[in-house]
Amino acid sequence: MQEIIKEFLKTHRIPEKAKFIIAVSGGPDSIALLHLFKYLNLNILALHCNFGLRGKESNRDEQFVKRFCDLYGISLSVKQFQTNRYAEEKGISIEMAARELRYEWFREMKNKKKMDYIVTAHHADDLAETIFINICRGTGLKGLTGIKPVNGDLLRPLLDCSRTDILQYIEQHQLGFRTDSTNNSLEFVRNKIRHKIIPVCKEINPAFLDIIRENCEILKETEEIYTYAIEKLKKEVTDYKNGEVLLHIQKILASPAPYTLLYEILKPTGFNKTQVRDILNSSESTPGKQFISGKFILTKGRDYWRLFESHSTPFIPLQIEQPGNYEINGIPYRFELVPAGSPLPTNPAIACLDADKAIFPLTIRSWEKGDRFCPLGMKKLQKKLSDFFTDLKFSPKQKRECLLLLSSNQIAWVIGYRIDDRFKTGPLTRRILKIYPLQ
């Protein structure tokens, strides 16, 4: 097994002079791993977690690891955890709590002791068990690739070894170890798979673990091809405009796997499989259908599904009491009185209103259903704001974010787009209220 470790380090280009943290529970797997790294004279630090879940048995595990490390002259750090309390506070399972506590401490010690890698004793049986667990819980291609031998600074050099190989090594070198009594409890999913399913698979095919490893290697490369193809297709069906992600409906439908492609695009924003199926089924529906996942909104358009991030909180109406500087949605604006006759800019981001008509205090608020105004040039003809948005081909995101400036409850300016004809300047204007962004 020493050669397996050497080959692992060579294959993954890990220098033997590196500094390794070895996670040691006291079980045969971690004891074999620790002995192997010590035997090869590598620079190691052993870490043992006492989760306090099995009373005196947990304490005896800790004492055994201490004696083992003393015997072989191995540096060791031990930490005791209040695992039950942590799980209760976080609202998570004991298993998940132990995992979070374990790896948080490993990272902390890695930084504190300036180590390079964290090494765990996962082996071929663990690999097979993990794949079965993923299948039972539901998984995609990634879950079928099992446990990675190298995942950043995490190393699992024993994945090519079976539990039988490890026990033979323990016996050969006359190493003691501790047995976790909970490993035999069928209360846990992993133990059910370990004691009920894996033995049957080995009975059907004695080379079952070898087959699992070979399949994992094939599936890892398959996953790389899959990821490459998905990324390529994403670029072909996706555009970006005005802070929105535009997903071209017909291009997605024409792809080899529309559902899978759409799911991979939307998965990072929290849309689940059922929602993705509903979105795909909306491809022939009337534009306007909306889907929500957390802070993300997707709307069905004529040619695109439009994805954008909504504001987590609605805009709170703002009172403008007098000329000066004000912040509107994070953008500073200047409200300034200038004399009539000053050159009028044509930029729609700047409003020039008759100051005798736009009377302080002014109000800024979000638009509401039923709002009407008289767009510049239409004189007294009022237009629904929703129709104005349609004329300008506003996206759903632009509609949601549109703000209005009001004077005496009348819309004076659709901010950034059009002033109201009733507030425009003319020959009788004496003063101009000029409103413009400062950035």
Task: Please report, in range form, the residues annotated as the binding site.
Answer: 25-30
CA dihedral (349, 352, 357, 361) positive or negative: positive
Residue with tokens 């993990």: 130
Distances (CA, A) of 149 to 35, 51, 152, 168, 172: 19, 26, 10, 22, 25
Binding residue positions for ATP: 25-30
Q: Which residues lie across from 336 on neighbouring strands?
A: 434
Asked whether the bond before 375 is cis by omega within 30 degrees of 0, the reply is: no
The burial of 11, by beta-carbon neighbours within 10 Å (0-12 exposed, 13-18 middle, 19 or more buried), is given as exposed
**Which of 365, 355, 435, 347 lies closest to 405, judged by CA?**
365
Residue with tokens 């500087």: 325
DSSP string, 339-381: ETTSPPP--TTSEEEETTTSPSSEEEEE--TT-EE-BTTSTT-
Element (H, E) at 72: helix 56-72
Q: How many CB atoms lie within 10 A of CB 299?
A: 22
Q: Write out 178-240 in H/E/C secondary structure.
A: CCCHHHHCCCCHHHHHHHHHHHHHHHHCCCHHHHHHHHHHHHHHHHHHHHHHHHHHHHHHEEE
Element (H, E) at 252: helix 249-253
CA dihedral (118, 221, 143, 305) positive or negative: positive
